Chains A and B, each alone.
Chain A
Amino acid sequence: MLGLKKSDSRLLLLVAGITLLAPFILNPFPEGSELAQFNAGYPDLMQRFVIFGIFAIGFNILFGLTGYLSFGHAAFLGVGSYAAIWMMKLLTMNIIPAIILSVIVAGLFSLLVGWISLRRSGIYFSILTLAFAQMSYSLAYSVLTPITGGETGLQPKGSDPRILDAALVNGTTPKANLFGLQMGSSFDLTLGSWVFTFNTGFYIAAVIMLISFYLAIRIFRSPFGMMLRAVKSNQNRMNYTGLNSKPYTLAAFVISGMYAGLAGGLMVAMDTQAGPERMFWTASGEVVLMTILGGAGTLIGPVLGAGVIKYMENILSKINSDILHGWFAFLPDGLENLIVNVLYPFIGKGWHLTLGILFMLVVIYLPGGLVEGAQRINRLFKSKSQNDSKAKPEPAE
């Protein structure tokens, strides 16, 4: 299918299925029940899942294939966001010019950063990218305030020129749209006590993610991808054979920068706001964590990692002590308080602690990330019901 191998087509179809059915899959618990707390099927989080999925897929093209660890990828996402919001302020609230410009601007910026940073490798490369990203963050926060809005960032306002759009009805807020279809619009489907929300913005972002994912598969399987893997395994040997690896790594860097810019543009399209803290080094660190948590170098891993981290950030952090007390209210008071006190440091405001512990556990026991975990479980089942099928083990990608 679409020029993919059978196993890759299966993976693409699986991802497409999960993504398109996400409103059902993410809302497994009925409304009003205690467990509804864990539902993630509301527009904002679903949009974030796919947007950060795109960001991580792009990052993986650089890190997973070439092994170059960039600590400054958030800068490209930030630059893409600023480009998109300026398109919305100057041209139109239609998301298409915004997204296109965000990819182009991020691509150009990553060309510049990559061209300089790729003169070095190893940790020197990491520090160079980090330095560029931190400079972008610091300047966007302070001296570039006229362009970036500084701390408060940029939002579309009624008074912006927006030369392609018709004038707004007096006093209303401009809303991002695709030829009139608003990103925020959704409709709810109620089945019994279950509620499923289908959101326009999410589906647009999801389709873009599927295209990005498809392109990533093609890159992974292409001769170009092979060349990048060669860079990872032994760059010297590659150079000795007379191949100049620089154009390949630079191309990978720019492609992954463009993916980041696309994610930044989509973030603005879904939620019209751009601010400098998306470029801070911890934001760059976050995409590294997503990729490694899910499984660097695998196709599906980064998307999984992005999902897990965003889920924790948005769901775990909202559980407060009142909710905990509610859950365990059926227990005797002493036991209830004990359990709440034991759990409380790990959830709600303590979600960072859980995140830190999770990383350590994954890195220590599952160096290949969650994908490796899934493979191990898979193998466990296969070895139990083996012999008759003689299925060959899944390749690592």
Chain B
Amino acid sequence: MEAIVLQILNGLDKGSAYALIALGLTLIFGTLGVVNFAHGALFMIGAFCAVTLSRILTLSHTIIDDTQKDFLGNPLKVEVPYVHDLFGQTTGDAIIDWAVPLSILFAMPIMILIGIVMERGLIRHFYNRPHADQILVTFGLAIVLQEIIKYYFGANPIPTPAPAAFKGSFDFGAMLGFEPNRIIYPYWRIIYFSFAALVVGGVFAFLQFTTFGMVVRAGMADRETVQLLGIDIDRRFTLMFGLAAAVAGLAGVMYTPINAPNYHMGMDFLVLSFVVVVVGGMGSLPGAVLAGFLLGILESFASMREVLNILPGINQIIIYLVAIVILLTRPRGLMGRKGVMED
């Protein structure tokens, strides 16, 4: 029982990342009809926004400390961050400590800008091209973006810890009346899940309750009619692309304390998130979110020791197996619309 509760927690947490990326992919596909293989790269760039901000905050000047020696026996150069000079040591350290949450503010405008530039500069030329061309050009873009990041940040993962206040874990089981110390969960993962829920809720509310969202939804359903009404749907769709990029980017920012970011983290997520989108049904926002959580939970259950003892290797293939079964029994995924991506 405890094991099951724990794996559901894990699944929700893993599912949040899948759901956020899949949500952005579906937004782009649903509005613009473009299959965006560079979406994983946007997730990765978001994560590197956090790395960049923490680098900016720790920009330092060196002072030479004669009392200590470096590895060659020369006097040690000590790096002193400028924020220490500006705000004093304690405040300065606190600011550096909070780099990841601060990056949300930093990443938002950057990601929206990147999204808009991408749509205006590249994607818009591909609306009427075959999906294969869209996949290929965005795949090429993903390679380029990832190589640029690698050029500047190297191939090794870069540790980007959460603020000290959120380190450690919390005894979830004791709260629910289980034995203490059996179901513990890291604070930051709970924050990640809540954050994902907030973003998903925010996007749905935005589409559901604002005029802008209503027009976009109308455009998703029937683009031409909306245009005939004299509404500039293209501009709104461009903004939606920026929004989708921001969702992916924020998912990346918040993910950095969970796993140290590296340049290929986007590709690692790309294939899985495509499976998620397809299982959810192309073009369906609730489908994407639902499938994200569903696959996250299933993956967690498949990695339990008890399951692996019966079916060795099931943890390696569960997601693909589920995808095959769902696609064969439900032709358009869980909540897909008819006629989308079938020709």
Contacts and interface: CB of A to CB of B under 8 A. Distances in A.
* Complex contact flag A–B (Cβ < 8 Å): yes
Given A124-B278, A345-B151, A131 B141 contact: no
Given A359-B136, A364-B125, A116 B147 contact: no
A281 to B, nearest CB: 6
A116 B324 contact: yes
Interface string B299-330: 00000000000001100110011011001100
B327 A360 contact: no
B140 A281 contact: no
Given A138-B313, A364-B125, A123 B133 contact: no
Contact of B321 (A127, A135, A142): A135
A364 B312 CA distance: 45
Contact of A131 (B125, B129, B133, B324): B324
Q: Is the interface of B mostly helix, strand, loop or mixed?
A: helix
A359 B148 contact: no
A135 B147 contact: no
Interface residues of B, number: 40
B136 A122 contact: no
B328 A363 contact: no
B342 A134 contact: no
B278 A367 contact: no
Given A356-B144, A356-B147, A123 B35 contact: yes
B236 interface: no
Contacts of A36: none
Given A122-B343, A356-B140, A363-B140, A142 B316 contact: yes
A78 to B, nearest CB: 15
A69 B321 contact: no
B144 A292 contact: no
Interface string B267-311: 000010011001000100000000000000000000000000000
Interface stretch (A1-9, A26-34, A247-255, A347-355): A347-355
A124 B341 contact: yes
A285 B328 contact: no
Most chain B beta carbons < 10 A, residue from A127, A134, A289: A127
Contact of A138 (B133, B148, B282, B316): B316
Interface of B: 35, 122, 125, 129, 131-133, 135-137, 139-144, 147-148, 151, 271, 274-275, 278, 282, 312-313, 316-317, 320-321, 323-324, 327-328, 331-333, 341-343
Given A123-B278, A289-B139, 4 more contacts: A69-B131, A135-B317, A360-B137, A364-B137
Interface of A: 63, 69, 116, 119-124, 127-128, 130-132, 134-135, 138-139, 141-143, 235, 281, 285, 288-289, 292, 296, 345, 350, 352-353, 355-360, 363-364, 367
7 contacts: A124-B332, A130-B271, A131-B320, A135-B317, A138-B317, A142-B316, A353-B143
